[in-house]
Amino acid sequence: MITAEMVKELRERTGVGMMDCKRALVETNGDIEKAIDELRTKGLAKAAKKAGRVASEGVVTSYIHGGGRIGVLVEVNCETDFVAKTNDFKQLAYDIAMQVAASNPEFLNREKVPQEVIDREKEVLKAQALEEGKPEKVIEKMVEGRVEKFFKERCLLEQAFIKDLDKSVQELINENIARMGENITIRRFARYEVGEGIEKESCDFASEVMSQLK
């Protein structure tokens, strides 16, 4: 059985994301030393070490959907102009822009979520749990679980990647760091939708983006 403590230890020793650590432990039947070797083989441990390096080059990429109904701009950074000009890096930036169009994240990561937003979300979730008649002793754990779900839905790096739902956007970035040999970061993004904020008949453009990927 793969425990949270095992995942935590592997993460602390390698710097690799939790999902990658858990996957490596599953593949090695819980053997931490073998899991470390597995991550090193895949280059993810090296990628984690590169995460602190300055990434000031890169590209600003756009994605337009639905005949101009949705538009996205995203800045993805790397360390050198050489990597920024490669087709692989440009494709990554385009995929990130498409992700923003389809999944409409509000924040880059959970660290960017204002504390007042988190507190308000917890209050709403607790009220919902009480309304559902849940006992007090389980409400705290329920709220924690639902807050985690909130992060995975609203934070770009924690969202499931639309082209491979088994990995997060952060895991996608880590894979590309390992493959390209440079630190890669998403600096900022903006999403525009025609009529956004204006009351009108609703139309789920994000679903259209998703349907075109199938």
Segment 111-138 shows an average pLDDT of 85
CATH number of the structural domain 4-50: 1.10.8.10
Fold identical between 4-50 and 57-110+155-213? no
Contact present, 53 and 77 (Cβ < 8 Å): no
**In this structure, which CATH number among 3.40.50.2300, 3.30.450.70, 3.30.479.20, 3.40.50.300 belongs to the domain 57-110+155-213?**
3.30.479.20
Query: Is residue 203 over pLDDT 90?
Result: no
CATH number of the structural domain 114-152: 1.10.286
| Pair of tokens at residue 160 | 């499931």
Q: Let me know how long the chain is.
A: 214
Dist. CA 107–CA 156, nearest whole Å:
6
Mean pLDDT of the chain: 85
Query: pLDDT band for position 40 (50/70/90)?
Result: confident
Dist. CA 161–CA 176, nearest whole Å:
14
Q: What is the DSSP letter of 122?
A: H
Provide the residue ranges of all domains of the chain, joining segments of one domain with +: 4-50, 57-110+155-213, 114-152
